[in-house]
Structure 1
Amino acid sequence: MEYTVEDLSPVKKKVSVTVPVEEVNASLSATIAMYRTSVDLKGFRKGKVPSSVIESRFRKEVYSEATQDLVNVHINEIIGELNVNPVSRIDFDGGELVRDEAFSYALSFEVLPEFELPNYEGMDVEQEQVVVKDDEVDEVINRIRGNMAEIITLAENRPAKDGEIAVIDFAAYENGEPIEGIAAQNFQMTLGEKQALEDFENLVKTVAPGEEKEGEVTFPADFINTEFAGKTVTMKVTVHSIQERRLPELDDEMARKAGGFDSVEKMREAVVQSYKKSRGDLCKSQAQTSMLERLLKTVDYPLPESMVEMYMDNLLMEKKNRLERQGKSLESLGKSMEELRDEVRPEAEKIAKTQIFLVAAARKEGVEVTEQEVDMQLHQLAMQTGQDFRSVKEYYAQNNLLFGLRDRLLADKAMDAVFQKANVTEVPPKDLKLDGAE
């Protein structure tokens, strides 16, 4: 096998391959030999079917598999000799093997661009100091108390107010007929937290326990279920009771129940340490981001279109998921897919440029990601989502997500390696707020 390499662009290569007759025939013979061991034909003992019969009866399958196997062997050999890492699928341009004839084909694929990394050793970088305020700790403690609150049914005969829980039955009607799928019994609805449509909440706030009322509710025009988008229906509501959350006393007993703390003071200390860890990670991440943005401004290189397209797909999927959590859809934005892709392209190009830079830095610093590190990350994902590790790994493998996961881990390790060589100075914090520190 001989090949020549042509650079179609700084990030795209074309490899033209010529295979001599001897290698063509050898590949066909190897595939036929494999078929002989497994094919069972009437009139022949298994494994004793003549090669000519195999080639005649299974010509289409044999020639297709022999071509594919030979090309795959060549791809591994060529990629290894060129010492490149394709970032796109490898496109094959060629026909099929023909016995006693030389075979020619071409491969094309995108690769990472070559460029000179800027000098980042000793680079001056500012990182905010970690400061935890008392009111931030108080806010977390109050959330813990809220999670431990006792639910009490109120004796007052009045409609529920914001912050209270209405236990209700409800159903939707259109032209006097019930609408399937919009009904529930003994549903606990916390008012004022926008758990439901505003029209529906306002209706519930007019109904006292033991009463039933109905009113019109209009679904928003961008409602995720297009069947109801913009539609006005009649909602019937029955309120059974009104409940409220009563917070426990802030004492050592509550601290023990909250997490086995010896005292309220010990619980506060744990919250402070959690804040320091979370905020410290955030401050470091912000300093790394600032450093990376400054470095990226000093370099310029072409981006493989396949990488940009992949990140565009990821960004649109994230947007779709966010909208669906809000009860909306991509279609509700009123834009074509081409317009949406154009909108996210700049961000996708920024992500691709960052990834390429960090891959180059990883190569320079000798940073690698092991299979064990990938599995560890998958274990964490499995624990977070309550799924089985093998199921998560199989999903990532089947959807070609393992490469992306490995790249993200590599980028994180490369950024840490680069940051370690910076000259980091701590500075007073800006107005920084971190949600969910507990």
Structure 2
Amino acid sequence: MKSAVENLNPTRVRLTVEVPFEELKPSLDAAYKKINQQVTVPGFRKGKIPARIIDQRFGRGAVLEEAINDALPKFYTEAVNSGELDVLGQPEIDITEFNDNEELKFTAEVDVRPALEIPDYSGIEVTVDAIEVSDEDIDKSIEQLRDRFASTTPVERAAADGDVVVVDLEASVEGKVLEDGVAKGISYTIGSGQLLDGIDEAVIGLEAGGSATFSSELKGGSAAGRTAEVKVDVTAVQARELPELDDDFAQLASEFDTLDELRADTARRLERMKKYDQATQAQEKVLDALLELIDVPMPEKLLKDEIETRKQNLEQHQFPMMGLTWESFLEREGKTAEEYDAQLEEQAKKGIKTQFVLDELVKKEQLSVSQEELTEHLMRRAASSGMSPDQFAQAVVESGQVPMLVGEVARGKALAAVVEAAKVVDSNGDTVDLEDEDEDGETVEATSEAAEAAEAPEQSAEAAEETPEV
């Protein structure tokens, strides 16, 4: 077999491959064997039909087609390896010349990773928000905790903002009550925004036994996205009572004996959260600064496929869960279809560019991933997916996604190396040490999360060589 590589542009090549007919013999034998197992010819046992009989009965062309489909992936892979190409996605195969007992010639056009030069990144400097925990922040957090321990008392008066009402709901579309549009005995805090749009205005002023109707766009169920007429019956009105902010509350809501101790612990917890947010912000800003330094040619087909995959994910997975259509989604986002397409393209470009750059850094810095690092990453991913670590690990192995997870960890380490080399200051002008330890002894350091957030998760640019077929 002979092959040659032609660079069409920095991200796409054309392979020209010539295969002597003799090298097709193993695939030709396999084709006869496969057909032998699939067909029946009177007078011959299954699997024992001579090749000449198969040619006569089913045509030599069918055998050759089967043989080529079997051989192409192997010869394509050999050509890729011979050319030392880092291919992306599935090639476009074109058989340019082939006759029985003659040489097979074909071309394969495929996207490849662009060659990148990683410049000196030690001069990157970014500014992040300073860590400031105000009394207002502490008060807000304590108030949220206080709200969780509120009690309710039945009252005989009209419902007001902040009250809890117990309601029965009945939703109708075009005059017909929906089968899944009836609910009874629902407790709802007026003003919480956790039920249907319009219900607050409908129930305020109603006493127990009162009814009202209002219009609302349904967010889920069989009529998701449609406007329904909703009848609401108030069966009870309850006033919420917040506990007093004192030492008794501290003992009720926490392990602390006094309110002052609770406030001090809240301040420490908020500071830890702000440190984490600061580290994440530093990662994102350093990544953006790194990407600005590097010109990355963009594979057009990979970009097109990535955009299409992201759109399909929205349509097929996220929209049904949120009860949205493209029209309602764009309205919610406040964008036209053209504006959202442009935004989606920029996100996809950044994701692909991030992966290319960080993968190149992994090679340049010769970074590896230990079993412990992979396990820790798997645990984090399992937690975010809602699966147990064992379930997630099994799913990853069965779907062949272990290399993808290894890549995520390696790219996280590459980004961490860049962050470590960068100068990070806060808005007060103070140098930020991202390796400071928090109260729990955990190190606040660059992780793979910022890299993952910017990558192209739907159509991975680390796609291996696909197996073509004609």
TM range (shorter): 0.7 to 0.9
CA gap of 1:254–1:380, structure 2 versus 1, over 3 A, is farther
Code of the residue aligned with 2:115 in structure 1: it is E
1:420 Cα deviation (Å)? 1.9
Cα deviation digits, residues 6-61 of structure 1 (max 9, x gap): 11111101101110111012321245457779999886667655555567677777
CA–CA distance in structure 2, aligned partners of residues 198 and 168 of structure 1:
15
Alignment of 1:155-194 (within 5 A): 156-173=155-172, 178-194=177-193
1:168 Cα deviation (Å)? 0.9
Aligned to 1:213: 211
CA–CA distance in structure 2, aligned partners of residues 384 and 288 of structure 1:
20
3-state DSSP of counterpart to 1:183: strand
CA gap of 1:393–1:104, structure 2 versus 1, over 3 A, is farther
Deviates more, 1:53-62 or 1:103-112: 53-62
3-state DSSP of counterpart to 2:114: coil
Aligned to 1:292: 287
3-state DSSP of counterpart to 2:357: helix
CA contact (8 A) 1:24 1:99 kept: no
1:302 Cα deviation (Å)? 1.9
Cα deviation digits, residues 212-270 of structure 1 (max 9, x gap): 3233x2345x977896868573x433212123444456677766765666776665565
Alignment of 1:214-293 (within 5 A): 214-215=212-213, 217-219=214-216, 231=227, 233=229, 235-248=230-243, 271-293=266-288
CA contact (8 A) 2:168 2:186 kept: yes
Aligned to 2:301: 306
1:204 Cα deviation (Å)? 1.4
CA contact (8 A) 2:128 2:281 kept: yes
Aligned to 1:112: 113
Deviates more, 1:21-30 or 1:166-175: 166-175
Aligned to 2:412: 412
Deviates more, 1:315-324 or 1:96-105: 315-324
CA contact (8 A) 1:67 1:97 kept: no
Code of the residue aligned with 1:13 in structure 2: it is V
Code of the residue aligned with 1:4 in structure 2: it is A
1:102 Cα deviation (Å)? 1.3
Aligned to 1:433: none
Alignment of 1:7-406 (within 5 A): 7-32=7-32, 50=50, 52=52, 63-94=64-95, 99-126=100-127, 128-150=129-151, 152-154=152-154, 156-173=155-172, 178-209=177-208, 211-215=209-213, 217-219=214-216, 231=227, 233=229, 235-248=230-243, 271-313=266-308, 316=311, 328-332=324-328, 333=330, 340-368=340-368, 377-387=377-387
CA–CA distance in structure 2, aligned partners of residues 35 and 175 of structure 1:
59
TM-score (structure 1 length as normaliser): 0.77
CA–CA distance in structure 2, aligned partners of residues 75 and 273 of structure 1:
59
CA–CA distance in structure 2, aligned partners of residues 175 and 426 of structure 1:
57
Identity %: 27
CA contact (8 A) 2:33 2:47 kept: no
1:175 Cα deviation (Å)? 7.7
3-state DSSP of counterpart to 2:117: coil
CA contact (8 A) 2:121 2:418 kept: yes
1:108 Cα deviation (Å)? 1.2
RMSD: 4.4
CA–CA distance in structure 1, aligned partners of residues 138 and 51 of structure 2:
79
Code of the residue aligned with 2:342 in structure 1: it is D
Cα deviation digits, residues 167-208 of structure 1 (max 9, x gap): 011224578653443221111122112234443321212321
Cα deviation digits, residues 108-133 of structure 1 (max 9, x gap): 11122223222113544445554433
CA gap of 1:258–1:157, structure 2 versus 1, over 3 A, is closer
CA contact (8 A) 2:180 2:222 kept: no
1:330 Cα deviation (Å)? 1.4
Query: Which 5+ residue runs of structure 1 have no aligned equivalent?
Result: 431-438
Query: Which 5+ residue runs of structure 2 have no aligned equivalent?
Result: 431-470
3-state DSSP of counterpart to 2:293: coil
CA–CA distance in structure 1, aligned partners of residues 69 and 43 of structure 2:
30
CA–CA distance in structure 2, aligned partners of residues 355 and 428 of structure 1:
33
1:283 Cα deviation (Å)? 1.6
CA–CA distance in structure 2, aligned partners of residues 193 and 274 of structure 1:
25
CA contact (8 A) 1:24 1:101 kept: no
Code of the residue aligned with 1:141 in structure 2: it is I
CA contact (8 A) 1:66 1:97 kept: no
CA contact (8 A) 1:24 1:98 kept: no
TM-score (structure 2 length as normaliser): 0.72
Aligned to 1:434: none
CA contact (8 A) 1:36 1:49 kept: yes
1:314 Cα deviation (Å)? 6.0
1:104 Cα deviation (Å)? 1.1
CA gap of 1:288–1:226, structure 2 versus 1, over 3 A, is same
